[in-house]
């Protein structure tokens, strides 16, 4: 991680297509926290999954329905421009993209697979 920069511009980072229609740019990070920019195409589903990192996000534009597992039941909410959200460590969550969306997400600790 020694080649990580203190300042990174979203324009200087190439997108990685993680799944069909889901594009990620990994921005600034260290071992404790990571910031990523996501572009999510309309009508794309992100299946339920979980990971060690806690995840907080902010919707820059668009609309997303998030599905989360709470007490072994799936609940959902819609996040739109200006909304923020958070998922705890190992909490199962997924999404359906209602309108093309752009989000900024922070992960703590960082996600090594996103480097």
Q: How far apart are CA 84 and CA 82, in angstroms?
A: 7
Domains belonging to the chain, first-starting first, are 17-114 (2.60.120.10)
Phi, psi of 38 (to 5 degrees): -125, 140
Confidence band for 5, pLDDT divided at 50, 70 and 90: confident
Confidence band for 3, pLDDT divided at 50, 70 and 90: low
pTM summary value: 0.92
**pLDDT tens, position by position, 90-101:** 999 999 999 999
- Please give the distance of CA 25 from its chain centroid, rounded to a whole number: 10
Average pLDDT score over the chain: 95
Q: How far apart are CA 52 and CA 31, in angstroms?
A: 13
**pLDDT tens, position by position, 21-41:** 999 999 999 999 999 999 999
């Amino acid at each position: 991680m020694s080649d990580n920069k203190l300042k990174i511009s979203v324009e200087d980072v190439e997108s990685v297509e993680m799944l069909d229609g889901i594009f990620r740019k990994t921005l600034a990070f260290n071992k404790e926290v990571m910031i990523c920019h996501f572009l999510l195409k309309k009508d794309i589903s992100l299946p339920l999954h979980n990971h060690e990192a806690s995840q907080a996000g902010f919707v820059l534009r668009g609309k997303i329905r998030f599905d989360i597992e709470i007490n072994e039941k799936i609940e959902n909410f819609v996040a739109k421009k200006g909304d923020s959200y958070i998922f705890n460590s190992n909490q199962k969550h997924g999404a359906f993209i209602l309108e093309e969306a752009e989000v900024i997400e922070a992960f703590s600790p960082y996600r090594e697979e996103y480097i």
